[in-house]
Amino acid sequence: MPVSRSRVGRRLLAFCAVFAVPWAIIRWTNPDGTTGWGAFFPYGLGGVLGPLGDRFVALPRYLSMTGPMPYWQQAWPTGAFLFACAFASAALALVGREDERVTGGLLVMAGAAAGLHALGLALSEGLFVLPVGPLACWALAAAAYRDAVGRLVFVRPKARD
């Protein structure tokens, strides 16, 4: 059954909201005792306010400046890529070609990758990390794609109307 245009629009707006929030908010203590704050967004690293904050670095530039990374640092761009794929899959609903199981599954995996990155930051770097991205991805998957993810996980047919 095709999804209504207004429902697709609301879902795409929800994707934009998840894209705009920081995926991991980090806090550290400087040697002089002051506290610093930063954030990892799906599109870059910088101040808590994103591109409006100081010292913002876009994700492609960050990746071009770094060398080999540990697995948990690779999870940040992986999560951003999975989220972009989920958005593209959701946008296919505009032409009636979305498979909600794919979109929901990609959102769950993007949240898992963002969670792995946040956990790696907390354990390896000794930072205080607030993992907003995994919660936002999983909340969107639960709110908009609950039945589809359930069919994906439990391999059951779609309920007939």
Residue 159 has a pLDDT of 65
Please state, in angstroms and rounded to a whole number, the distance separating the CA atoms of residues 124 and 66. Answer: 17
| pLDDT of 38 above 90 | yes
Q: Which two tokens stand for residue 55?
A: 């010292």
Residue 30 has a pLDDT of 85
Which range is most confident: 3-12, 38-47, 58-67? 38-47
Could you tell me the pLDDT band of residue 160, with boundaries at 50, 70 and 90? low
Q: Is 119 exposed, middle or buried (0-12, 13-18, 19+ CB in 10 A)?
A: middle
Top CATH class, 5-153: mainly alpha
pTM of structure: 0.88
What digits encode the pLDDT tens for the residues 105-135?
999 999 999 999 999 999 987 789 999 999 9
| pLDDT of 86 above 60 | yes
- The three-state (H, E, C) secondary structure of the chain, written as one string: CCCCHHHHHHHHHHHHHHHHCCCEEEEEECCCCCEEEEEEECCEEECCCHHHCCCCEEHHHHHHHCCCCCHHHHHHHHHHHHHHHHHHHHHHHHHCCCCHHHHHHHHHHHHHHHHHHHHHHHHHCCCEEECHHHHHHHHHHHHHHHHHHHHHHHCCCCCCC
Please, which residues have CB within 8 angstroms of residue 81's CB and are 6 or more apart in sequence?
A: none
In the chain the first and final C-alpha atoms are separated, in Å, by 9
Phi, psi of 46 (to 5 degrees): 175, -150
| pLDDT of 84 above 70 | yes
Strand partners, 40: 24, 45
